[in-house]
Structure formats: C-alpha cells, structure tokens
Amino acid sequence: MAQKPSSAAPPLPPNASATTRANRVKLMIFDVDGVFTDGSLYFTAEGDAMKSFNLLDGHGVKMLQSVGVQTAIITGRKSGIVAARAKELGLTHLYQGVEDKTAALTELLEATGIGADDCGYMGDDWLDFAVMRRCGFAAAPANAHPEVIQCAHWVAEARGGHGAVREVCDAILRAQPRYDALLAAALGT
C-alpha cells in the first residue's frame, strides 16, 4: 500500500469553484468512450472494433504528466486499442472492463496515496456519477448526458473525442498555474 501524503490539504468546501478544484488536481482520471472518443464504435467485417482518438487530447495528457500530474483511465469496456493508446501516452494507471468504477477508484487512490479531493475525473454518462461525486474536480465533455453535465464542476466546450480532454488539461494547467510557462517553452521564449 502506498504511503499517505504527509501534509494533506484541507477538505474542499462544497461551494469551491471549478478553478479552486482544478488547482488541487494531482491525479486526473478519464473515462474513454465519449471522453477520449466520440462514443462511436466502428467494426470491421471480421468483427474487430476500432476507435478514433484525438491527437490534441493526447498532447494535453502529456502536458499534465510533464508537470507532475498523474493520469489514469477507468473504463467499463475492455479493449486492446485502449491499452495501446494508454501505453503510447505513458498512462501507468489503466483500469479496463470495470463494472464498479468506485471500487477501481478506491484501488487507484490506495495505489497512488492521493486523496479523492485531489483527483479529477472526466466522464460522460450515468456510469460515471459515483466517481465524479467522489473526486474533488468533476468534468464532462460538452455532449455528455444532461444529468452528468449538471453533476460536473466544469464542462468543456468541445465534444468527447474532439478536444474535450485537451480542454480540461488546459484548464487544470491554467488553474495550477503552469499553462503560460508551457506555452512560453513551446514558443521558445
């Protein structure tokens, strides 16, 4: 079992702003279908499934990792495609084929030693409610189910699979505030 952080931050007040919540994120967790993808599943004639991922989203995850924010996936479906994408992005925490996302979150928190108030989760459908309510920062893509949007502290302007992940990564980086330094480095200034 991982060590608990020695100086835990005080609990988040219920009325904390999305920016305050994003500022505390040490671990950002994502669902896949409808978040990293547009929620569509493509099948070949042989029955093989295919998914499409947005490169901007992947770069956003890499930027979070570059400033020390851990990243993870908790998803209900199991797919070699997701495992390959997670490996490509350097995600060390991958939970696939999960029936109970709350149990997976508990396992992840134990493994990392990070408290739920210092985690973010981006989901798009009812299966994500329990994890969103437990994490300190809950996010949703623009096309998430309406009740999920109401549960979220922050909602992207972009749809799942079309830059929503990048948008939430940028929001976290701005809240922390690390976005401007990363941009300056990219510009070579």
The gap from C-alpha 147 to its chain's centroid, in whole angstroms, comes to 18
What pLDDT digit, counting tens, does each position of 39-88 carry? 888 888 888 888 889 999 999 999 999 999 999 999 999 999 999 999 99
CA atoms within 13 A on the CB side of 61: 28
Rg of the chain over Cα atoms, rounded to whole angstroms, equals 16
The CA distance from 176 to 24, in Å, is: 7
3-class secondary structure, 96: coil
Q: What is the pLDDT of residue 8?
A: 66
For the entire predicted model, the pTM comes to: 0.92
Which structure tokens are listed for 54?
A: 């947005």
Q: For the chain, which residues make up each domain, given as ranges?
A: 18-187
What pLDDT digit, counting tens, does each position of 35-52 carry? 999 988 888 888 888 888
The CA distance from 22 to 172, in Å, is: 5
Q: Which CATH class is domain 18-187?
A: alpha beta
